[in-house]
Amino acid sequence: MPSIPLPKDLRINAARFLADFEALAAIGSTQDGGVNRPALSEAHLQSRVWFRERAERAGLVVSVDGAGSHFARLACGQNPERSLLLGSHLDSVPMGGRFDGALGVAAALEVLETVREAGLHLPVDLEAVDFTDEEGTLVGLLGSAALANHLQPAEIQNPRGGRQRLLDGLQRAGLSEAGLFQAGRDPASLAGYLELHIEQGPRLERKGIPVGVVTAIVGIVSYRLVFEGRANHAGTTPMDERCDAGLGAAGFMLAARQLVVQSFPECVVNVGALKLEPGAFNIVPGRAELALEFRSADQQTLDQLQQALLALAEREARAAGLSVTVVFLGRHEPAPMHPAMRQAIGRAAADLGLVTLDLPSGAGHDGQSLANLCPTGMIFIPSQAGISHSPHEFSAWHDCVNGVNLLLQAALNFNP
């Protein structure tokens, strides 16, 4: 008679996981090996049909909340009122890669099926989750924010992907605007949230380390800056008599980069859009509008960086004889990962003989929404050349399998 493995020796079924991963990669697949599954598009909804069928085949109970997030529950808990959530998202950026999000959802289903087959009884139930619109083609972190009761009506009125696109998506999915605000979940029902994801950066690969234990998810602040000078004839206005708004914007962009490189080495800054007006070859720009975003994993540092960047905008404007208007657009606070979850991951990695690196996540994730509700943790595996949000996104298969085994063992290790 085969002996029953100790929970510590339990491993996932890698062949079954590969089949699931490939089935998902085929839904909305593009010719260059990526996937195109923007939130609530036909392809995305098709991937959710797959989720439901796959979960039901594994003997899990599927439910869908008012934001369309899909849950598959394994009733393995001594306390069936609470569950540990494992998951990620099946939506992709437009023309994205096959690993971002899908890896974590397929992994969660595989972990639940492995636990069910082994007949383990755990302190709480396990739930695999596929959150709606993590990527922000509609709103961003939509499903997790709705679950956490963080969703602001203004975000739905004026979503980053456009209002009509959101309404069309909701209709396609059989969802409603009112339903989004009824997806809030009782925090008492959540024992924790744990997500496996690709790193989307080059740090693990460069160091040759197979696993990242996320310390915090970065906070993100965005502003619109408007430099104003005086539009004038580009041929007849002497160089030293111009109030060139474009020059102020350019000066700010260069100085902001230098500030972050020199004084905020753990942070990043980006000017992702720049509009000069009137916008002609032969007119000195009278107005320059730029989209500023900066990130830090530490709240105090984020405050200091914000102060420094806004002071810099004033300084650059004055130096170029311009005025500057600062419009605050939004702030997501940094979300530290829970020590108990980090420990559970660390212990499991040691058991599996996997070296780990502690690192912050420079990208946003659903864990940001969950971190205030319940102990939240994230596991990263290496991304080849750090490429992500691209069809060329790739992670080695053995790293993926290591990651799923680590997700399994961390879930078993976590003491809710």
- Binding residues for Zn ion, per CB under 5 A? 100-101
For residue 287, the minimal CB distance to Zn ion (Å) is 36
Q: Which tokens belong to 54?
A: 């796959």
Identify which of residues 140 and 159 has a Cβ nearer to Zn ion in the complex. Answer: 140
Nearest to 325 by CA among 306, 307, 310, 304: 310
Identify which of residues 356 and 383 has a Cβ nearer to Zn ion in the complex. Answer: 383
Q: Helix, strand, coil shares of the chain as percentages rounded to 5? A: 40, 25, 35
For residue 321, the minimal CB distance to Zn ion (Å) is 44
Identify which of residues 124 and 196 has a Cβ nearer to Zn ion in the complex. Answer: 196
Nearest to 148 by CA among 112, 110, 194, 180: 180
Identify which of residues 105 and 225 has a Cβ nearer to Zn ion in the complex. Answer: 105
Identify which of residues 249 and 407 has a Cβ nearer to Zn ion in the complex. Answer: 407
Residue 237 backbone phi and psi in degrees, to 5: -85, 120
Neighbours of 177 (CB within 10 A): 13
Neighbours of 88 (CB within 10 A): 26
For residue 134, the minimal CB distance to Zn ion (Å) is 6
For residue 343, the minimal CB distance to Zn ion (Å) is 24
228 and 317 in contact (C-beta within 8 Å)? Answer: no
Neighbours of 51 (CB within 10 A): 24
For residue 163, the minimal CB distance to Zn ion (Å) is 24
Identify which of residues 100 and 298 has a Cβ nearer to Zn ion in the complex. Answer: 100
Cβ within 8 Å of residue 130, ≥6 positions away: 48, 51, 69, 70, 87, 88, 89, 90, 105
For residue 391, the minimal CB distance to Zn ion (Å) is 15
